[in-house]
Amino acid sequence: MDLKNLGDTLSRHYEKVILSVILLALLAAAAVLPFRVSQNRATIRDALDTVARIPKKENQPVDTSEMEAVLQRAQTDPQFSLSGDHNLFNPVVWKRGSRGQLFKVVRGDEEGPGGLAVTAIRPLMFRVQFDGVMESGSTLRYRFLVTDETRRSGGGRPRQVFLSPGVPAANAPFSLTSVKGPPENPEALEIRLPDSTEVVTPQQPYERVAGYEADMVHEKLGTRFSNVRAKQPGGVRLGNETYNIVAITRDEVTLESSTLKRWTIPLKGTP
């Protein structure tokens, strides 16, 4: 068959040739398709296995505490108070102190005991000291030095008291009950106080805290009170009011007004 006859044949049957080529291509694709499907399945299976091996993370709960707090506040009625420290309906009074400074009157007692400060408290001692023996005829009398700092008049100076055993003396705050040792040179002397029995020796006097005195200052009024004592006449005067000093302890002073209202003022620097 020559080329001319081949060309004529192809010209007449070119549709069949094209169809044959297409069929051959389809057969080749059909032959390759099962292999590609198997390959894709293996790829998908490997991917699924890889995902399954990855550790799973648990979902963390969402923090809604702030939103819950906002909802709780929204459900709670607001507290509305016309009293207290605000000054919308409670205006305060301002006053001028002794040095020209302004101070606010909140409690109402800033010009009184509320403005006082206790700057010092000192103990007042009661002391009994044996000071020798004196002969009065056939009787021996024992001399004592008595210091009572609670007495306003001469309280800081010792005064002499002469006593004999079992013989009371009008000017003595105690009595001599017995003498131990030689009467002319006693080793110890027993004295009876209104609330106790004590022993005094030539080397060791008897002493105790009988009271206290205090120093106070009112900084807003510029007033100072020195050496004040409990139940002293006249008390302390602040403004137009006089306050009685009810008691003084080692760390506080108690005052009382004419209406029996009391204030306890601690020593400055103590809790």
pLDDT at position 114 is: 82
Q: How far apart are CA 36 and CA 39, in angstroms?
A: 5
Residue 221 and residue 116 in contact, taking contact as beta carbons nearer than 8 Å: no
Q: How far apart are CA 143 and CA 150, in angstroms?
A: 22
Strand partners, 21: none
**pLDDT-based confidence at residue 129 (cuts at 50, 70, 90):** very high
Tell me the residue type at 49.
D
Asked whether residue 43 carries a pLDDT value surpassing 90, the answer given is no
Pick 221 or 127 by higher pLDDT. 127
pLDDT at position 199 is: 94
259-269: per-residue pLDDT in tens?
899 999 999 87
**pLDDT-based confidence at residue 19 (cuts at 50, 70, 90):** confident
Q: Are strands 241-248 and 252-256 parallel, antiparallel or unpaired?
A: antiparallel
Encoding tokens for residue 83? 């009293």
Tell me, yes or no, if the pTM score tops 0.75.
no
Q: How far apart are CA 206 and CA 224, in angstroms?
A: 34
Encoding tokens for residue 114? 């509320």
Percent of the chain residues past pLDDT 90, beyond the cut? 35
Q: How many residues does the chain have?
A: 271
Q: 């602040």: which residue's tokens? A: 238
Encoding tokens for residue 177? 């009950």
The residue-averaged pLDDT of 114-126 equals 92
The residue-averaged pLDDT of 88-117 equals 69
Residue 174 and residue 192 in contact, taking contact as beta carbons nearer than 8 Å: yes
Q: How far apart are CA 207 and CA 249, in angstroms?
A: 18
pLDDT at position 28 is: 81
Residue 245 and residue 253 in contact, taking contact as beta carbons nearer than 8 Å: yes
pLDDT at position 219 is: 77
pLDDT at position 241 is: 86
Q: How far apart are the first and last CA of the chain?
A: 132
